[in-house]
Chain A
Amino acid sequence: DQQVKQNSPSLSVQEGRISILNCDYTNSMFDYFLWYKKYPAEGPTFLISISSIKDKNEDGRFTVFLNKSAKHLSLHIVPSQPGDSAVYFCAGGSGSARQLTFGSGTQLTVLP
């Protein structure tokens, strides 16, 4: 079951540059998407979400873009900082309070 896919297992970016993490989904019933960051030995930490009725949501250095026709979303981090190095998961959900379906994650490494 690959309802949410993150095709890049890893990404390396220089400090100060933009990091772009991608996510594709197949379930048309998702009506919101979330990005989580995860450090080793910790639980996922919520970063930013977007409703399916929007195409962009911004919070500080983090912006999520949603292209519903392509069933694709991306997380942009600008500027990238070494502390951003972590595994990033995208997740989709349908209906309030219902389960989240996660992608497999992308390991982001920001090089100083």
Chain B
Amino acid sequence: EPEVTQTPSHQVTQMGQEVILRCVPISNHLYFYWYRQILGQKVEFLVSFYNNEISEKSEIFDDQFSVERPDGSNFTLKIRSTKLEDSAMYFCASKDESSYNEQFFGPGTRLTVL
């Protein structure tokens, strides 16, 4: 069964460093998303991406964040200068055009900022 994959599974970085989290969405999906879950809190929406552009973003997704689809398979989230409060699980999700609403999630990347 096709699935969303994410790498790395765990990323440790120093505050102020740049990180890139990578996702490979399901191959025929056209809508891509990033969510995050801070420990003990809700899963929160960050950004959605369709047709090579951002379609929605939340207040969390400020100038320190960017997304890119550099090729036909990868979808990346970059955090330019990480802060301690960026420590969280980051989930990538994707959706196809035929399904109205189901988003399929990857296993997540645990980001730890020291």
A-to-B contact residues, CB < 8 Å:
32, 34, 36, 41-46, 49, 51, 89, 91, 93, 96-105
Contact = CB atoms under 8 A, between A and B. Distances in A.
B79 to A, nearest CB: 19
Nearest to A103: B42
Interface of B: 4, 6, 31, 33, 35, 41-45, 48, 50, 55-56, 58, 91, 93, 95, 100-108
A39 B55 CA distance: 29
Nearest to A6: B42
A89 B42 CA distance: 9
Given A41-B107, A43-B108, A89-B43, A49 B56 contact: no
A109 B104 CA distance: 24
Given A98-B48, A99-B33, A99-B48, A46 B103 contact: yes
